[in-house]
Amino acid sequence: MSLEEVLEKYEPVIGLEIHAQLLTNSKAYSREANEFGAVPNTNISPISLGHPGTLPKFNTKTLNYGIKLGLACNSEITRDMHFDRKNYFYPDLPKGYQITQDKTPICTGGFVLIKDADGNEKSIELTRIHMEEDSGKSSHDIDPFDSLIDLNRAGVPLLEIVTEPVFKNGKEAYNYLIEMRKLVRYLEICDGNMEEGSMRCDVNVSIMPIGSKEFGQRVEVKNMNSISNVEKAIEHEIVRLAGVLDNGEEVLQETRNFDANTGKTIALRKKEDAHDYRYFPEPDLTALHITQDYINEVKRNLPALPNDLYKKYVSKLKLSDYDATNLTDSKGIALYFEELIAHTKNFKAAANWMMGSVKSYLNQNALEIEDFPIAPEKLAELIQLIEEEKINNSVATQKVFPFLLMNPESNPIEIAESNGWITKTDSSEIENVIINIFKNNPNEFERFKNGEKKLTGFFMGQVMREMKGAADPKTTTQLLNKLANEV
Ligand code: ADP
Ligand code: MG
């Protein structure tokens, strides 16, 4: 059955859980470094190994990051909370329990605005965000005989973000993850890297007959290392579940693994007894009370958020959805653009420069916007020169801009003046150049005179070469036509 056929019969329901590893220097309850890629089992201590008699100490950065994210998602911030132990046995969890928040998550409710599959705005409600710690990492595919365990990750702080079951398809989940990744990057609380596992997503999928009010049995899919694999896993799972139901079988509550090579999911474990975690309040950490003052302070220090900037660009600056999306994709680009528009009111030109010359320079040189040599004020000056028709667009992009890249201290106007790139609108000078060019190209001239209009480009090129690109194209075209009949 194809996905389209399934969707004529069944309605999918999807909820996502994201685990975001936080960009703290040290772990959640101990002082070892929180770093990716260190030599295995070097960032460990008796605390993260859970040795008897050790005591955890809470890293308050985690709290700060949790509140930041909650405020950015319009969640309610919990004022009184405690930690809980989630007990289970697994070789990469030496303590035998995870310190998490069960009854008092740091944030409840809230929403994130995304685009649905048709490009319309949709609000994704969040159930909760809570603080917890990561387990170690087990690798089953490095050594042919043994599973390997790296405990550097044990105790790394996480925020778990749980949504309500409100997604209808893979595309919405995709757009939500793009939005969430943008958000944690703007907030600088997580690097959002799914390939390295610093942002992970579990997908819960169920299907029900169209029109039904009662959700079907859900399955959970893990192990997607990219946002597009999440979309693929969801689409695969919807079709698989429809097959199960159409066969008259029952959907089992289970956790499944996504295999990126086959695009399929395979059953990992049944979930029947998974809820017996014996949660109880963590006795080694004190309860926390958050003051309104503290929340206000975090709020005051929030950076501009991607969705707010997007809305501003579309409604106030009248930029297209495409432009606004591109400009807010990364925080660095958005911040540069913010400075740029503080110096020019030509927003469309500013957007074009960012997405054209600036981005291609960055791409070609594998640089980030933070390394871009030209200050926003200078780029604004360049835009101003074009607006005042002192230089034309091609002189600006092909001559002044590259010059400015090499000499970021100089001024666009001085560069244009000293190189003779200021547009010449003086007809007599252009006329002389044209007459000379006609003389030197008698064949082309004869054909042009006889109405072969496509030679305009040829002559324009000659004039521009002669005048270092500084001839006004409109004047030049008019003169070419006029002189062809007069000479
Ligand atoms: P667990 O720890 O068992 O995974 P959680 O409550 O943390 O449970 O997460 C449940 C996730 O599953 C949420 O994102 C929720 O929206 C989603 N969910 C719950 N019921 C369904 C359902 N019937 N179909 C799809 N998703 C569901
Ligand atoms: Mg789950």
In testing the pocket of ligand 1, which one of 204, 207, 237 has its CB within 8 Å of the most ligand atoms? 204
Q: Is 17 in the pocket of ligand 1 (CB under 6 A)?
A: yes
Q: Which three-class secondary structure state does DSSP give residue 225?
A: coil
Q: What is the torsional sign of CA 226, 231, 234, 235?
A: negative
**pLDDT number for residue 272:** 60
At position 270, the amino acid (one-letter code) is K
Confidence of residue 473 (pLDDT cuts 50, 70, 90): confident
Q: Is 165 in the pocket of ligand 1 (CB under 6 A)?
A: yes
Ligand nearest to the backbone CA of 160: 1
Q: Is 86 in the pocket of ligand 1 (CB under 6 A)?
A: no
Q: Which two tokens stand for residue 412?
A: 């666009």
**pLDDT number for residue 273:** 56
Q: Is 11 in the pocket of ligand 1 (CB under 6 A)?
A: no
In the predicted model, what is the mean pLDDT of residues 274-294?
92
| pLDDT higher than threshold 80 for residue 135 | yes
Q: Cα(450) to centroid of ligand 2, in Å?
A: 77
Q: Cα(264) to centroid of ligand 1, in Å?
A: 21
Q: Is 215 in the pocket of ligand 1 (CB under 6 A)?
A: yes
| pLDDT higher than threshold 60 for residue 246 | yes
Q: Cα(15) to centroid of ligand 1, in Å?
A: 6
Q: Is 100 in the pocket of ligand 1 (CB under 6 A)?
A: no
Q: Which two tokens stand for residue 80?
A: 């009184």
Return the CATH architecture of domain 427-484.
Answer: Orthogonal Bundle (1.10)
Q: Which residue has the higher pLDDT, 485 or 368?
A: 368
Ligand nearest to the backbone CA of 275: 1
Confidence of residue 274 (pLDDT cuts 50, 70, 90): low
Containing H/E element for 128?
Answer: strand 121-133
**pLDDT number for residue 54:** 95
Query: DSSP letter string over 312-349?
Result: HHHHTS---HHHHHHHHSSHHHHHHHHHHTTT-S-HHH
- Can you give the three-state secondary structure of 246-263, one letter per residue? HCCCCCCCEEEEEECCCC
**pLDDT number for residue 268:** 85
Q: Cα(268) to centroid of ligand 1, in Å?
A: 17
**pLDDT number for residue 469:** 84
Beta strands in 167-314 (DSSP E): 199-209, 219-222, 254-259, 264-270, 280-281, 288-289
Confidence of residue 472 (pLDDT cuts 50, 70, 90): confident
**pLDDT number for residue 85:** 97
Among 62-71, 173-182, 422-431, the minimum mean pLDDT is found in 422-431
Atom of ligand 1 nearest to the CA of 215: 23
Q: Cα(3) to centroid of ligand 2, in Å?
A: 25
pLDDT one-digit tens code per residue, 203-212: 999 999 999 9
Q: Is 423 in the pocket of ligand 1 (CB under 6 A)?
A: no
Q: Whose CA is nearest to atom 17 of ligand 1?
A: 15
Q: Which three-class secondary structure state does DSSP give residue 153?
A: helix
Of 455, 473, 453, nearest in space to 464 by CA: 473
Q: Which two tokens stand for residue 273?
A: 């007894």
Atom of ligand 1 nearest to the CA of 220: 4
Atom of ligand 1 nearest to the CA of 160: 7
Q: Whose CA is nearest to atom 6 of ligand 1?
A: 162
**pLDDT number for residue 317:** 98
Using CA atoms, how far apart are residues 167 and 293, in angstroms rounded to an integer? 36
| pLDDT higher than threshold 90 for residue 486 | no
Among 136-145, 219-228, 417-426, the minimum mean pLDDT is found in 417-426
Confidence of residue 275 (pLDDT cuts 50, 70, 90): low
Atom of ligand 1 nearest to the CA of 205: 25
Atom of ligand 1 nearest to the CA of 165: 16
Ranges of CATH 1.10.10 domains, the chain: 427-484
Q: Is 13 in the pocket of ligand 1 (CB under 6 A)?
A: yes
pLDDT one-digit tens code per residue, 168-182: 999 999 999 999 999
